Structure 1
Amino acid sequence: MPLSGSRRPQRPTIGNSRQSTGGRALVVCALLSVALFTVSCRLGDEGPLALVRGGFQAATYPVRYLGATIAAPFQGLGNVVTNLTADQATLSELRQENDELRARNVALEEDARTAERLQGLLDLRDANNLQSTAARIISGPSDSWSTTVTIDKGTSSGLTVGMPVTASSGVIGQIVACGPVTSTVRLITDENSSVSAMVQSSRAQGMLEGTVTGQVQLSLIRSGQQVAIGDVVVTSGLGGVFPKGLPLGEVTSVEETPGALYLDVTVEPFARAESSEEVLVITSLTEEQQATAEDIAAADAQETGAASSGDQQQDTTE
Structure 2
Amino acid sequence: MALSAPGQRGPSLGNNSNGGGTRQLAACVVVSLVLITVSSRMGQTGPLEAVRGAFMTVTTPVRYLGATVSAPFQGLGNIFANLTADQATLSDLKAENERLQARNAELEESEQTATRLQQLLDIKDTYNLQSTAARIISGSADSWSSTVTIDKGTADGLSVGMPVSASNGVIGQIVECGATSSTVRLLTDESSSISAMVQSNRAQGMVVGSASGQVSLTLIRSNQTVNVGDVVVTSGLGGVFPKGLPIGKVTSVQNNPGSLYLDVVVEPFAHTESFEEVLVITSLTQEQQATAQDISEADAQEGGSSASTDAAAGDGSAAGDASGSPDGSTNSNG
- Between the aligned partners of 1:155 and 1:115, the Cα distance in structure 2 is 26
1:143-154 aligned at under 5 Å gives the runs 146-154=145-153
Match in the other structure for 1:93 = 92
- Between the aligned partners of 1:110 and 1:306, the Cα distance in structure 2 is 56
Identify unmatched segments of 5+ residues in structure 2: 1-5, 30-71, 307-334
What is the deviation of 1:270? 0.5
TM-score, length of structure 2 as denominator length: 0.72
Q: Among residues 1, 5, 18, which one is paired with 1:33 in the alignment? A: 18
What is the deviation of 1:276? 1.4
Contact 1:155 1:181 in 2 (8 A): yes
* Structure label with greater radius of gyration: 1
Residue type matched to 1:105 in 2? N
- Between the aligned partners of 2:76 and 2:204, the Cα distance in structure 1 is 81
Contact 1:166 1:280 in 2 (8 A): yes
Whether 2:219 is the aligned partner of 1:234: answer no
What is the deviation of 1:304? 1.4
1:42-81 aligned at under 5 Å gives the runs 42=27, 81=80
What is the deviation of 1:143? 9.4
RMSD: 2.8
What is the deviation of 1:128? 0.5
Residue type matched to 1:152 in 2? D
Match in the other structure for 1:204 = 203
Instruction: Report sequence identity in percent.
Output: 66
User: How many aligned residue pairs are there?
Assistant: 260
Residue type matched to 2:84 in 1? T
Q: Structure 1 pair 224/86, CA: closer, same or farther in 2 (3 Å)?
A: same
Q: Structure 1 pair 146/103, CA: closer, same or farther in 2 (3 Å)?
A: farther
Residue type matched to 1:167 in 2? A
What is the deviation of 1:40? 7.1
Match in the other structure for 1:132 = 131
- Between the aligned partners of 2:139 and 2:130, the Cα distance in structure 1 is 24
Residue type matched to 1:38 in 2? R
Q: Structure 1 pair 260/108, CA: closer, same or farther in 2 (3 Å)?
A: same
Residue type matched to 2:238 in 1? G
Q: Aligned with 2:100: secondary structure?
A: helix
Contact 1:209 1:219 in 2 (8 A): yes
Match in the other structure for 1:55 = none
Match in the other structure for 1:243 = 242
Q: Structure 1 pair 42/111, CA: closer, same or farther in 2 (3 Å)?
A: same
Residue type matched to 2:295 in 1? I
- Between the aligned partners of 1:224 and 1:79, the Cα distance in structure 2 is 79
> CA deviation digits over 1:275-312, x for unaligned, max 9?
211000000000000001111111011011499xxxxx
What is the deviation of 1:88? 1.6
What is the deviation of 1:123? 0.4
> CA deviation digits over 1:121-161, x for unaligned, max 9?
00000011100010000002489965011000000001100
Residue type matched to 1:298 in 2? E
Residue type matched to 1:225 in 2? Q
Residue type matched to 2:283 in 1? S
Identify unmatched segments of 5+ residues in structure 1: 1-13, 45-72, 308-318
